């Protein structure tokens, strides 16, 4: 009886734990609003490491003919181009759902097209399932595959591309860490515009075997309660 009570308690604790950790967990968010609008030639950004050259901050009100609702980052700075990588790598466990979203727009100055590169640095070769993407990077996907330390995709982004919510998500089949990066190889000081970068790492839905153990635990708890009632009735 003691074993069944312990099993039921463990199952109940696992259920409560799952109900908590399964909620969305934003581990990174940067909207660049802490920066001074229309600042050129930045070599540092909050939350990112800047490499290659510099980036520019473009404000909602600016002299560049850009329509933006808030601060955005021009990845082809003055001078450019640059790549920005999340300064920290974020850990995930097997079964976690990793989701990234960001707002991306074209240069908005003339009809120029620019290269946009998007990638992820993993802490090794990580198996994933249910990899999907949307927006500008909507061509990424797989049912089950492995992603290595440096996964990069390149796009030709038209200058008149409107700000588009873009991103990707997958379920990790192994533990590891990840850091995303964004950049351009454009060298005309007019590049892709980036904003609202958000990374979410959340616990996935428990496996069927986990639910089965929970149900067994609750059944054992009910059986123990009925047995105690019968013993109490017999002693009365």
Lookup: tokens for 85? 């990588």
pLDDT for position 74:
98
Check residue 15 and give its pLDDT: 39
Q: Compute the mean pLDDT over every residue in the chain, rounded to the nearest whole number.
A: 85
Chain Cα centroid distance, residue 22: 15
CB neighbour list of residue 101: distance below 8 Å, 6 or more residues apart: 165, 166, 167, 196, 197, 198, 200
**If you average pLDDT over residues 83-97, what whole number do you get?**
98
pLDDT score at 215: 44
pLDDT digits (tens, 9 = 90+) for 142-194: 999 999 998 999 999 999 999 999 999 999 999 999 999 999 999 999 999 99
Q: Residue 48 pLDDT more than 50?
A: yes
At residue 220, the 3 state secondary structure works out as: helix
Q: CB under 8 Å to 78, separation ≥6 — which residues?
A: 40, 41, 54, 56, 189
Structure tokens at 210: 């986990």
pLDDT given at position 22: 43
In contact, 178 and 92? CB cutoff 8 Å: yes
């Amino acid at each position: 009886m003691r074993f069944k009570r312990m099993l039921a308690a463990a199952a109940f604790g696992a259920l409560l734990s799952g109900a908590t950790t399964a909620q969305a967990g934003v581990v990174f968010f940067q909207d660049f609003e802490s920066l001074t609008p229309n600042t050129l030639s930045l070599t540092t950004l909050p939350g990112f490491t800047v490499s290659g050259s510099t980036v520019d901050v473009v404000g909602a009100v600016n002299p560049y003919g850009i329509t933006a609702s808030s601060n955005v980052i021009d990845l082809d700075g003055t001078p450019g181009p640059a790549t920005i990588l999340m300064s920290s790598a974020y850990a995930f466990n097997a079964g976690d759902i990793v989701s990234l979203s960001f707002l991306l727009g074209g240069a908005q100055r003339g009809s120029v097209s620019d290269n946009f590169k998007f990638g992820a640095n993993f802490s090794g070769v990580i198996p994933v399932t249910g990899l999907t993407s949307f927006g500008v990077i909507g061509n990424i996907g797989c049912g089950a595959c492995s992603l290595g330390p440096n996964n990069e995709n390149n796009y030709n982004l038209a200058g008149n591309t409107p700000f588009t919510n873009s991103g990707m998500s997958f379920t990790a089949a192994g533990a590891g860490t990840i850091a995303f990066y964004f950049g351009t190889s454009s060298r005309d000081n007019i590049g892709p515009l980036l904003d609202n970068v958000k990374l979410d790492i959340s616990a996935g839905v428990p496996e069927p075997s986990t639910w089965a153990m929970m149900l067994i635990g609750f059944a054992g708890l009910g059986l123990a309660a009925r047995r105690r009632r019968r013993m109490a009735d017999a002693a009365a």
